[in-house]
A and B are shown apart, each in its own frame.
Chain A
Amino acid sequence: EAEVAQSPRYKITEKSQAVAFWCDPISGHATLYWYRQILGQGPELLVQFQDESVVDDSQLPKDRFSAERLKGVDSTLKIQPAELGDSAMYLCASSWGLAGSSYNEQFFGPGTRLTVL
């Protein structure tokens, strides 16, 4: 069964350092999402891609966060510099993104657990 892949699974870094997370969506999925999940809360959308284009990055802290999906397949989320409050689970999800369909189910990866010291 196809799955969304993420790496690394765990990352520990010191504040002010740069970190990067990688996501490989299910093959053929046009839409890719990055979510942040603080412990005890539900995921919150950071950025949404349709192919290589950003559809929604309204909740992305653009002074320190960046995301790219250059070839419309895999994606990288970067934080520079990391702050203590960035400690969270970073989840990637993908969907077919078919225009006109009733709903495109999102499939989630296992996440990257980030700890900032």
Chain B
Amino acid sequence: GESVGLHLPTLSVQEGDNSIINCAYSNSASDYFIWYKQESGKGPQFIIDIRSNMDKRQGQRVTVLLNKTVKHLSLQIAATQPGDSAVYFCAETIQGGSEKLVFGKGTKLTVNP
């Protein structure tokens, strides 16, 4: 069935370092991908998205890379701050349909001061 998986369940970095969180997806029909941040006790919060016709998209301190050949996407966070500590999920969907999101299991990012 459809699934989105992650390579690492936890990631620990020092404040100020760059973080890279990876995600593998399996549905080649997915054409839209989203990264969410979920802090403890809260719902997921949209970070950045990318369409399948792009291979890179940049936001404020975040960059998402998409490699359709190997069905892989990554989230890069520059100058990681303590406030970035959270669980990060990638999600995939097909635009124009029901827009059902399929989430991966998540990576817990811990930023050490």
Which of A13-21, A42-50, A64-72, A77-85 makes up part of the contact surface?
A: A42-50
Determine if B25 is an interface residue (Cβ-Cβ < 8 Å). no
The answer on a CB contact under 8 Å between B43 and A42 is: no
Tell me which residues across on chain A come within 8 A of B51, comparing CB atoms. 102
Find chain B residues with CB under 8 A from A40 CB: 9, 105-106
Report B-chain residues with C-beta under 8 Å of the C-beta of A95.
Answer: 99
Interface footprint category on A? 20 to 34
Within 8 A of B (CB), among A89-114: 91, 93, 95, 102-111, 113
Please give me the residue from chain B that is nearest to A48 by CB atom.
Answer: B98
Residue from A48, A95, A106, A113 having most chain B Cβ neighbours under 10 A: A106
- Contact between B43 and A4, CB atoms less than 8 A apart: yes
Which residue of chain B is the closest to A91 with respect to CB atoms?
B43
How far apart are the CA atoms of A4 and B4 in the complex, in Å?
A: 26
B103, A42: Cβ atoms closer than 8 Å: yes
Partner of B98, one of A56, A93, A109: A56
A42 touching B104, Cβ below 8 Å? yes
What secondary structure prevails in chain B residues at the interface with A? loop
Name the residue on B nearest A113 (C-beta): B41
Q: Which of A41, A44, A55, A91 contacts B106 (CB 8 A)?
A: A41
- Whether B98 lies near A111 (C-beta < 8 A) is no
- In the bound complex, residues from chain B placing their C-beta under 8 Å from that of A107 are 46
**B43–A55 CB distance below 8 A:** no
A40-B106, A103-B95, A110-B41 given; A45·B101 CB < 8 A: yes
A105 to B95, CA, bound (A): 11
A40-B105, A42-B106, A43-B44 known; 5 new pairs, CB 8 Å cut-off, are A48-B100, A103-B49, A103-B99, A106-B101, A108-B44
Question: Which 7 A-B pairs have CB atoms at the shortest separation, nearest pair first?
Answer: A42-B103, A108-B43, A108-B44, A42-B89, A43-B103, A110-B43, A41-B105
Interface residues of B (CB under 8 A from A): 4, 9, 32, 41-46, 49, 51, 89, 91, 93, 95, 98-101, 103-106
